[in-house]
Amino acid sequence: MAGQMIGFVGVGRMGGPMALRLLAAGHPLTVYDTSAEALAPLVARGATVAASALDVAAQAEVVMMSLPTPPVVQAVTTGENGILRGSKIKTLIDLSTTGPSVARVVGAAAGERKVAWADSPVSGGVTGAEKGTLAVMVSCAQTTFTEIDPLLKNFGRTFFVGEKPGLAQIAKLANNLLAAAALVVSSEAMAMGVKAGLNARVLIDIINAGSGRNSATQDKFPRAILPGTFDFGFATGLSYKDVRLCVDEAEAMGVPMVVGAAVRQMLAVTQAKFGADSDFTSIAKVLEEWAGVEIRG
């Protein structure tokens, strides 16, 4: 599929690096984003800027999108000037985290327009997007997956989870709940240890050599919390959105999420205190303030 024109809507923190990987693989790219700053690196590499999301879908048969929230995804796809009204589009791939409800709505709208639909959220953060090491979860028709899999492999390892709309979103929400939960409980444990007199770096090393190791202690603490930079690259508002979607979906399915609800509350506190645009490692700052310690090392 190299050389095939691809459309990309939403080229921010995650979409930008993924779009760059498509350019590096030899695909001509037409892109759209509301931010000129986000578009600049792609233009420098030869991408064409479209006038709108609709214009992208008038130029490319395959359109990908990476957008921040479910309402934005729904508006950009099904709105009056949405992607699904494009004259050329044949396949729409959503790389966003929308939750299963919006995935089902957009999938149904795509079907009505005779556009193949793939729900394909990704996990692995900005670093994974840059390196092509993301986990790419996909739910769509098997024939659609066969066609788009070579494209998606530019981003990382693909996981076909089934044809039912929204299944890939369930997988993504489960993953993001666990990532946030690990960060919350690790922050609590680290605050306790440091207040007792343990060196934060030594405690992290002990945890990572033992049975308590997790994604927060192995990656987020060394990179963004112990140095005090709080710049891991994932916004508190987005993490809160993901966990809220996960808990709401679980409750609708009759699956209790006692711990999940507590994680959601901690993210709500973090967002209220530091803002939706803060890095989600700021959860540790909440614990630092409550405990009266600084987790550094």
Catalytic residue positions? 172
CA separation, residue 136 to residues 28, 93, 157, 168, 267 (Å)? 22, 11, 6, 9, 25
Beta strands per DSSP E along the chain: 6-9, 29-32, 48-49, 62-65, 91-94, 116-119, 122-123, 134-140, 156-162
Query: From CA 12, how far away is CA 15, in angstroms rounded?
Result: 5
How much of the chain is helix, strand and coil, in % rounded to 5? 55, 15, 30
| Structure token pair of residue 245 | 């979607």
Are 68 and 97 a contacting pair, CB within 8 Å? no
Backbone angles phi, psi at 232, to 5 degrees: -65, -35
| Nearest to 221, CA basis, from 131, 134, 297 | 297
C-alpha 150, offset from chain centre: 20
Three-class DSSP category at 212: coil
| Nearest to 295, CA basis, from 186, 174, 138, 139 | 186
Query: From CA 244, how far away is CA 238, in angstroms rounded?
Result: 10
Query: Beta-carbon neighbour count of residue 281 at 10 Å?
Result: 24
